[in-house]
Amino acid sequence: MQRFARSLAFGFATLGILAGAANAGWKTDLDAALQQAKETGRPVLIHFYADWCGPCRQMESTVLNSSKVLDACRTACIAVKVNLDHHEAVAQKYGVAALPTDVFVSPTGEILDRHVGKASIDQYVARMTDAAAQVDPATTTAEMTSDVTDLLTQLASSFGVGLEGYSPVALTVDRVWTKGNPEFAWRHAGVMYHLADAQELEQFKADPEKYAPRYSGFDPLILSVEGEAVPGQIVFGSFFEDRLHLHATKESRESFLKNPSGYPAPAKLEVPAVVAKREPVVAEVPTASGI
């Protein structure tokens, strides 16, 4: 049986970033830039600016449209400009507090680097080249991305309510088991989650990858070692790098926590006819404390 590609969590809402007319090599549609990054395996360079920002205007006139930078836009990075005044939520998502700011994002959605302030042409091109060098093309091809995302979503869509109805936001933020309300429901990566209230719902919608279990709730160790998609249990959850993981058994959880970075998803796997299963687990779920 072939193996799954490394799970790629993008954590981006669909965005149509419309600004002024694009210069050659620069895009003004963030959604299109992110999609092209997935297809090419190149990182995304997001340049945040504002019309009232003096240093931004200087960068625009002396650096961003230089031949060297435009060449790098076509070879090293997928470059996109975002006007902070028009897209404050996007700027907040990427932690932009000053202008100009450049954020480099991998094809898998991870922030590779961040730079604030002006830069010379050579400095700017060097930053773009460094970001491109950080991307592993073996894990970012469009085929692998499509296989992993589509397959895990397809398998997870057959589940019931995710986390058995407990709020993923409360669990991630406070490490507390809080029952969600079906009135505040949202589907992510094939799984329906219940949030406790309207505020939690907005938090989850803004960045579902931050709160939802990784690998759509499948056991990461079994996925890596055995190449099987085995649903994890909420009684055997763990956190690694602030991401929630669900494990099928206590033994799997303990082994994973000994070396959590040592269990990447397998390279590829054919779609199984059914989700792999283990013996049923009977355990009490904590109601006051978290994982």
pLDDT tens sequence across 207-263:
999 999 998 898 999 888 887 888 999 999 999 988 999 999 999 999 999 998 888
> What integer pLDDT is reported at residue 42 of this predicted model?
86
| Catalytic one of 56, 131, 163, 201 | 56
> What integer pLDDT is reported at residue 246 of this predicted model?
95
Nearest CA-CA partner of 182 in 152, 154, 162: 162
> What integer pLDDT is reported at residue 122 of this predicted model?
94
95-100 long-range contacts, CB within 8 A, separation 24+: 96/48, 99/48, 99/49, 99/50, 99/53, 99/55, 99/56, 100/47, 100/48, 100/49, 100/53, 100/55, 100/56, 100/59
Residues of the chain with pLDDT under 70: 1-24, 136-150, 158, 266-291
CATH 3.40.30.10 residue ranges of the chain are 26-136
53 catalytically annotated: yes
| Catalytic one of 45, 53, 112, 132 | 53
> What integer pLDDT is reported at residue 9 of this predicted model?
26
> What integer pLDDT is reported at residue 268 of this predicted model?
64
Nearest CA-CA partner of 161 in 140, 181, 141, 178: 181
Assigned superfamily of 26-136? Glutaredoxin (3.40.30.10)
Residue 207 backbone phi and psi in degrees, to 5? -155, 70
d(CA 147, CA 152): 8
Handedness of CA 279, 260, 170, 218 (dihedral sign): negative
> What integer pLDDT is reported at residue 283 of this predicted model?
42
Structure tokens at 256: 């994973």
